[in-house]
Amino acid sequence: MATEKRRLGNILVNAGKITGYQLQDALKSQKILGKKLGEILLDSKIITEEDIIEAIEQQTGIKKVDLNTINFDRKAITLIPQNLCEKYILIPFGFDNNKIKVALADPLNIFAIDDVAISTGFEIESFISKKDDIKKFIGIYYSSQEVNNAAQQLSKETAESKNSKLNVEDVDNVKNAPVVKMIEYLFKNSIEMKASDIHIEPFENEIRIRYRIDGKLQIVNTINIESLGPLVTRIKILAGLNIAEKRIPQDGRIMVSVDGKDVDLRVSILPVVNGEKIVIRILNTSGGNIGRDKWGMSKENLQRVDRIISNPHGIVLVTGPTGSGKSTTLYTILSELNNDKVNIITVEDPVEYTLSGVNQVSVNNKAGLTFASGLRSILRQDPDIIMIGEIRDNETAEIATKAAITGHLVLSTLHTNDAPSSVIRLVDMGIKPYLVATSVVGIIAQRLVRKICTNCKQPYEATEIEKEILGVNEDNPLTLYKGSGCGYCNHTGYVGRTGIYEVMEITREHREAINLGESSDVLRDISIKNGMTTLASGCKDLVINGITTMAELATITMTKE
């Protein structure tokens, strides 16, 4: 190995990336630390990973490959075991005649190349790629491969034992049973692919498995319909549900650990025509996504939010459809308000993130602990700030309103299309307009839109209709962008999401309009006059700035402006 390390040093010196003195210094450190030469140079920030890749490409002719922009050949993935890929940090991605193409973080490691050649029986064509990219795709493709293999094995096993009854104890206890392995890999793969939900859907001849990634469902697998029984039974066992009950919906919870992180899985089982459909919501209990930097909110809107949450009492509402990031916004506000001088209590269904220093209560409808009863109880706990997961009914709305009027800051969510209509929704729930006007201090409406993949982002000339929709002068040319689809974005053209917001501060003018029973259109006009940016105009700005697409704009409610 020492020969290989010195060779890397010579390559870097010859390429002018480091000096002979820096090499000698790094080699001395290597003897003391026992690390690879490349790691020592990177840790000391003498060079970057791009410098090493560029030098190796120039000096050896080994080509670099950006794994984010290529289409992986799944057959290549099946040829090299995952443990070998993780040991040497490499991943196969295709074939060239009788050669298998392999991306390596260290293509100078002859032992890695020899081991892969022996393992596969193929001659190796080496490429160099970034270490983190290789690790990322090992996680994605090998867990996907494990799901496929386990699915095939499960289909085979269920086909063979089609006429025999399922032994529930066997399914639960045999750790190597195909159904156990498949569900284990399914959880791991969905988390690595950053899915928010897993859908297991039975149809007449097959079971379809889909993930919701960046708000959109994608098919990841289809398996034999005979496998439905073992799959449903195993998930029910894990979630502590009644395996004998197949006629009514059931809800449960599974806690799993993936790569040292605790993940909370919320299971919903619904009887359908062809069996039972399972939807699993994936909740990252660590709260790693909490923070204003995740919002994508403008400076003006951030200032409005600061003014709203600085109120000592009143109701602050966050509104939007399911999956629009309301919980993340609420938890961020809570974490900012959290300190030793205030008592914060929440009542949630379910508790999605655990926050240190915050007293969190989980709704338990079976035991009679509803939002309303929980809210009544926590009001006797001397709270300063209260967070209600959702205002769903008149009873909860009434208690929240009274709490706000009696000196508490109340945070909650509502399901409405925009900020102004939230006021009308509270009135519809039976809250008197004067109470709404007195208690509500601010409303944040939000949506999440997908961002264009930076790897396959392509410009195009906007059509006349697109310019008209965007409110741009039709005589001037306008360049817009869209993603063509690549390996990095799973051929969707999008990676990640960003928020668009309406932040409505309740002013004296708003209160007068609410007391008079004015419509949401009047409240919207007052807010726009006071500087509020609507959801539609916020999304249009993102389209013009090349962050999202016209297709995403079409999914946003086009509020009147």
**Which residue in 286, 93, 256 sits closest to 188, CA to CA?**
256
Question: For residue 502, how many C-alpha atoms fall within 13 Å in the half-sphere facing its CB?
Answer: 31
pLDDT category at 274 given cuts 50, 70, 90 is very high
Provide CB contacts within 8 A for 61, sequence distance 6+.
none
pLDDT category at 556 given cuts 50, 70, 90 is confident
Q: Answer whether residue 423 shows pLDDT above 80.
A: yes
Whether residue 43 lies inside any domain: the answer is no
The CATH number of whichever domain residue 154 belongs to comes to: 3.30.450.90
**Which residue in 305, 329, 529, 304 sits closest to 448, CA to CA?**
329
Residue 477 preceded by cis peptide, ω within 30? no
Q: What is the pLDDT of residue 166?
A: 46
Same domain, 278 and 183: yes
CA distances from 437 to 211, 501, 515, 516 (A): 42, 22, 7, 10
Provide CB contacts within 8 A for 409, sequence distance 6+.
309, 311, 312, 313, 314, 316, 337, 384, 385, 386
Output the pTM of the full model: 0.72
**Domain limit, last residue, from 229, 258, 283:** 283
Whether residue 26 lies inside any domain: the answer is no
The average pLDDT across 137-158 equals 77
Same domain, 232 and 298: no
Alpha carbon 252 to chain centroid, angstroms: 21
Same domain, 205 and 302: no
Provide CB contacts within 8 A for 404, sequence distance 6+.
313, 314, 315, 410, 439, 440
Whether residue 51 lies inside any domain: the answer is no
Dist. CA 381–CA 490, nearest whole Å: 49
Strands 385-388, 457-461: pairing is: unpaired
495-510 pLDDT tens trace = 888 999 999 999 999 9
Whether residue 460 lies inside any domain: the answer is no
Same domain, 222 and 308: no
Query: What backbone torsions phi and psi does residue 69 show, to the nearest 5 degrees?
Result: -110, 5
Q: What is the pLDDT of residue 5?
A: 41
pLDDT category at 79 given cuts 50, 70, 90 is confident
pLDDT category at 400 given cuts 50, 70, 90 is very high
Q: Answer whether residue 170 shows pLDDT above 60.
A: no
Dist. CA 454–CA 452, nearest whole Å: 6
In percent, how much of the chain has pLDDT > 70? Answer: 93
Whether residue 478 lies inside any domain: the answer is no
Helix/strand/coil for 13: helix
Q: Which amino acid is at 232?
A: V
The average pLDDT across 32-48 equals 80
Instruction: For residue 156, give both structure tokens.
Output: 């085979």
pLDDT category at 2 given cuts 50, 70, 90 is very low
Q: Which residues on neighbouring strands pair with residue 283, listed in sequence order?
A: 264
Q: Which domain holds residue 273?
A: 136-161+173-283
Least confident of 96-105, 514-523, 540-549: 96-105
Same domain, 377 and 230: no
233-262 pLDDT tens trace = 999 999 999 999 999 999 998 988 877 778
Q: What is the pLDDT of residue 138?
A: 86
Same domain, 361 and 509: yes
425-461 pLDDT tens trace = 999 999 999 999 999 999 999 999 999 988 789 999 9
Residue the block writes with tokens 């790693």: 288
pLDDT category at 359 given cuts 50, 70, 90 is very high
Residue the block writes with tokens 């290529």: 70
Same domain, 236 and 354: no
**Domain limit, last residue, from 252, 283, 314:** 283
The answer to whether residues 441 and 315 touch, using CB atoms and an 8 Å cutoff, is yes
Higher-confidence residue of 28 and 383: namely 383
Q: Which residues on neighbouring strands pair with residue 189, listed in sequence order?
A: none
Whether residue 123 lies inside any domain: the answer is no
The CATH number of whichever domain residue 382 belongs to comes to: 3.40.50.300
Specify the number of domains making up the chain: 2
Whether residue 120 lies inside any domain: the answer is no
Residue the block writes with tokens 């519809």: 428
With 0-12 / 13-18 / 19 or more C-beta atoms within 10 angstroms meaning exposed / middle / buried, residue 35 is: middle
